[in-house]
Amino acid sequence: MKLDGHAKLTNSAIRAFKSRCSESTDLFFREKICQLPQFDTWNISWDSVDSNESDNINLAKYIIAQELSVFGESLHQIGRGYLTREVVAVDLEPPLVFGHYFGWGQKYHFMRRASGATVKDAHIEAIDLIKKETMNWIRSMLHVLYSNRRHGRSGGSTIVLRKQAASHLAIALHSLQDSISPGHTKRTHHENPQYPGAIEDIYIYKEQDKHNHSQRDFNSASVNSLLSSSAVYASADLLQLCALSVSMKSILPIGWSTFENRWLKLSSRTK
């Protein structure tokens, strides 16, 4: 996905998650998980609801300017859309940008190392990353919500921890969304956006035509795209899984096997 595609898909996923969250069990309300500042959408003016070059470039300039700010965004409270911003920033923040050029970084984009990794190897690496970062968010938010009660959930004592949690979850969401793009993976045919096809291949970026890769990323984040709907549903499901796990005070992500089998299943024909 492109930068603006990640932002638009994540905003849509947050809205879908919150509509479900508000109708769910009282466990969500008990700790007000649905109202966490991380789960506010990022309100930015777009040229189009579809992913496009203009919005992509403008968003890149916006985030780079934030990163280079004299004061730094790390000194501020978590604002509206922080999680969405972090999902986009996976493609721009210096420590992760290097991952575009080295094998170890391909899992952040659900792609395969060029150094002889099989599709199964790449699948394991990407799945492990998504699960690990999801668990990191759960652990951090359990600490914020249950271990720092006397300081208040919005108190300065938890700002750093909550931002770190959002960054972890953003990495998981970024890789998950990229797994839907045909520029990153090949899936079996599917017609229902809530049940995407199994993964048959995970591509190597260096071996691709960069223009075609870029165009596929734009197309897969367009409003009327079956793929964009799948990415939104998958992202909303991951947010729901995270919220449920924290509500139940579970360090392990509740329902992970079901989630993985639905959204990230590897085809039985894949070697």
The pLDDT tens digits for 148-187 are 555 444 445 688 888 899 999 999 999 999 999 999 999 9
Amino acid present at 238: L
Give residue 223's pLDDT: 80
Residue 269 lies in a domain: no
Residue 200 lies in a domain: yes
Residue 270 lies in a domain: no
Residue 113 lies in a domain: yes
User: What is the domain extent for residue 180?
Assistant: 3-263
Q: What's the Cα-to-Cα distance from 181 to each of 146, 161, 212, rounded to whole Å?
A: 37, 31, 12
Give residue 105's pLDDT: 86
Does residue 266 sit in helix, strand or coil? strand
Low-confidence residues of the chain: pLDDT under 50: 75, 151-155
Residue 66 lies in a domain: yes
Q: Using the structure block, give the residue that is written with the tokens 């008990």.
A: 30
Residue-by-residue DSSP string for 176-243: HHHTTSTTTEEE---S-TTSPPPEEEE--GGGS-HHHHHHHHHHHTSTT-HHHHHHHHHHHHHHHHHH
Residue 192 lies in a domain: yes
Give residue 73's pLDDT: 54
Residue 56 lies in a domain: yes
Residue 177 lies in a domain: yes
Give residue 117's pLDDT: 84
pTM: 0.91
Q: How far apart are CA 74 and CA 69, in angstroms?
A: 10
When divided into structural domains, the chain yields a total of: 1
Q: Are 43 and 260 in contact (CB under 8 A)?
A: no
